[in-house]
Amino acid sequence: MKITDLKCAIIGDFPVVRILTDEGIEGLGQGEYPKPYLKPHVMFYKDLIIGEDPTDVERVMTRIRRVGAFKPWGTAVSAIEVALWDIAGKAAGLPVYKLLGGKVRDRVRVYNGAVRFPLKGHTPQHYAENMQRMKESKEGFTIIKQGIAFHGTMADSMPGLYYGDPPGGPRATQGGLFTEKGFKHTMACIEAMKEVLGDEIGLALDCGPGFTVIDAIRLAKAVEPMNIMWLEDMITGDYTPYVLAQLYRDVTNASSTPIHTGEQIYLRQNFKDLIETQAVRVIGPDPLDVGGIAELKWIAEYADLHGIQMAPHGTADGLIGLAALVHVSATLPRNYIAFEYPVGKPDWWYDIIDGLPDPIVKDGFIDVWDTPGLGVKFNVPAARKYLKDGDKDFFN
C-alpha cells in the first residue's frame, strides 16, 4: 500500500486531514479548532509522505517528526500520525487500540473539558453556581476542571489580583506575584467550588500559566486539606514553548497537592526532564500536539515507571480527536486517570461524523468501540455543505 495524496480542509474551524492510498483505504486526522491557520503547515509535509506505506506508521513519522515544534506547530504532525493509524487499523480490520497493544480497560474515564457554562461573574458564589451546573450536566462527570487565577477570565475581571499590568493583545499571558487580596479571593472561589462537589466529584484546577514559584507553592500548600485532583499549568503551559522542569520540581517537592502540566509539549524528548526528575505528579500531553497517539502512549508508559499519573489534554480536539483519545486511552497503563473531553463545535459536527456511540458519555465514561481504524467516518453528503470554497475537492 502506498500513500497517494494528503488533503487538508478547514471544516468549521478544525483543520481536518485526509490521507488517500492506492488501495482505496483512507485515514482521517484532526487538529484543534483554534488553529484554522495550520492548513499550509499540514500541506508542508505532503511531499515527505507521498509514496510511503501508511501502515509503517513509525517509518513515515521519522520523515516528518523532526520538522515540528511545541504547540501549535506540533498539531500538523500529530493529525497526520492519527490518520496513519486510522489507515493501518482499517487495512488490518482491527480497531486502532489493538495495534497499540490492546485494551487495558473497556471504558475510559473523561472529565468535562469542553463541556462548560459561562461564568456570570467572578465571586465565590458565581463559581459555586457554575460548579453546580457542571455537576448536573448530563454526562455525569466524576471529575470537573475549572479555570482560576491566570487561566480564564478571573485575572481580567478582578483588578488587583496580582502585582503587574495586563500585557494586552491576543493570546497574551498574564502573570506575576499575587496580592494578598488576590490570593484570598482565589482561595475563596476554590473553597466555594469544593463545597458544591464535596467528596462525590473530584475538582481539578487550571491555573495558568503565570504563577511565580512562590505563589504556586503557597497555593499548593493551602489547598492540601481539600484533596484537589491537580493544579494545572501553574508556571508554564498552553502556548509556552519551553518546560522549566526545575521550577515545577520546587513546587512538587513543597506540597502533597498534585501538580500537572504538559498540554503544549511536543515529543517525548521534551517530557524527559519532567518525568525523570519527578517534577510533576500528573502529565497531560495532547495527542494532537505531542506528535500523535503512539507518542502519547510512549510517554504514558515512561511516566508510569516513575510513578507519575496521566490525564491527557484534549478540550479542543473535536470528534475525530475524541476517537483518537478513546483508542489510545484504552491502552494506557494503570497511571491513567481521565482525558479531557472534547465536543463537536459547532453542533452540526454531530450530523457529519458517523460511528460515535449515542450518548457518547455515560456516568463519566465512554465505552470503547470495536470498529476498524478509529471507527469514525464522515457522512460525506452532509459534510460537503460545510466545505469552504478553497476546500471543495476535499472528499474527491
Per-residue pLDDT 10s for the chain (396 aa) are 999 999 999 999 999 999 999 999 999 999 999 999 999 999 999 999 999 999 999 999 999 999 999 999 999 999 999 999 999 999 999 999 999 999 999 999 999 999 999 999 999 999 999 999 999 999 999 999 999 999 988 998 888 999 988 777 776 778 999 999 999 999 999 999 999 999 999 999 999 999 999 999 999 999 999 999 999 999 999 999 999 999 999 999 999 999 999 999 999 999 999 999 999 999 999 999 999 999 999 999 999 999 999 999 999 999 999 999 999 999 999 999 999 999 999 999 999 999 999 999 999 999 999 999 999 999 999 999 999 999 999 999
- CA 113, 139, 297, 62 dihedral sign is negative
pLDDT for 173 = 79
Q: Is 20 helix (H, G, I), strand (E, B) or coil?
A: strand
Query: Domain coordinates of the chain in residue numbers?
Result: 3-93+379-391, 98-377
First to last CA, the chain: 19
pLDDT for 158 = 87
pLDDT for 196 = 98
pLDDT in tens, 272-304: 999 999 999 999 999 999 999 999 999 999 999
pLDDT for 164 = 85
pLDDT for 145 = 98
Question: 243 is written with which cell numbers?
Answer: 518546560
pLDDT for 48 = 98
* Contact criterion met (CB below 8 Å) for 98 and 330: no
Q: Return all residues near 339 (Cβ < 8 A) that are at least 6 apart.
A: 108, 109, 110, 111, 113, 311, 312, 313, 314, 325, 329
DSSP one-letter string for 163-205: ES----STT-----EEPHHHHHHHHHHHHHHHHHHTTTSEEEE
pLDDT for 167 = 78
357 vs 355: CA distance, rounded Å: 7
Question: 2 is written with which cell numbers?
Answer: 502506498
338 vs 112: CA distance, rounded Å: 10
Q: Domain 98-377 class?
A: alpha beta
pLDDT for 136 = 97
Q: Which CATH architecture has domain 3-93+379-391?
A: 2-Layer Sandwich (3.30)
- Determine if the pTM surpasses 0.75: yes
pLDDT for 157 = 87
